[in-house]
C-alpha cells in the first residue's frame, strides 16, 4: 500500500477546510476561483495520496471567503508525532 504524502496536521487542515466548504455549500470550483487556481488543484489537495496542499496564504484567503477565523482550520492541540501518514 502506498503511503500518504501529507502529514497528519496537513490532512487535518485539509479535512477541516473541506468540512466547512461543504457545510457552506461552496464547491471546489468556487475555492479555485478565489484562490486563482484550478478545480483540479483543489481536487488534488483533497486527495490524501497526492502531495498538493494549501499554503498559509491559501488558508488566509479561504478564511476571508468563508467569513471565519484561520484558527478554525487547526486542531486545539498539536500532533506530537508529525510523520507523514
Classified as helix, coil or strand, 7 is: strand
The domain segmentation of the chain, as residue ranges, is 11-69
The per-residue pLDDT for 4 is 61
pTM of full prediction above 0.85: yes
* Number of CB atoms found within 10 A of residue 55's CB: 9
pLDDT tens column, 28-74: 999 999 999 999 999 999 999 999 999 999 999 999 999 999 999 99
**CATH architecture of the domain covering 11-69:** Orthogonal Bundle (1.10)
Q: Give first-to-last CA distance, the chain, whole Å.
A: 12
Q: To which residue does cell 483540479 refer?
A: 40
pLDDT at 3: 58
Amino acid at each position: 500500500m502506498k503511503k500518504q504524502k501529507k502529514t497528519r496536521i496537513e490532512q487535518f487542515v485539509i479535512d477541516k477546510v473541506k468540512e466547512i466548504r461543504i457545510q457552506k455549500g461552496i464547491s471546489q470550483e468556487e475555492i479555485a476561483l478565489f484562490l486563482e487556481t484550478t478545480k483540479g488543484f483543489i481536487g488534488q489537495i483533497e486527495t490524501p495520496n497526492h502531495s498538493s496542499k494549501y499554503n498559509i496564504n491559501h488558508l488566509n484567503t479561504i478564511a476571508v471567503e468563508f467569513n471565519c477565523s484561520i484558527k478554525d482550520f487547526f486542531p486545539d492541540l498539536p500532533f506530537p508525532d508529525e510523520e507523514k501518514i
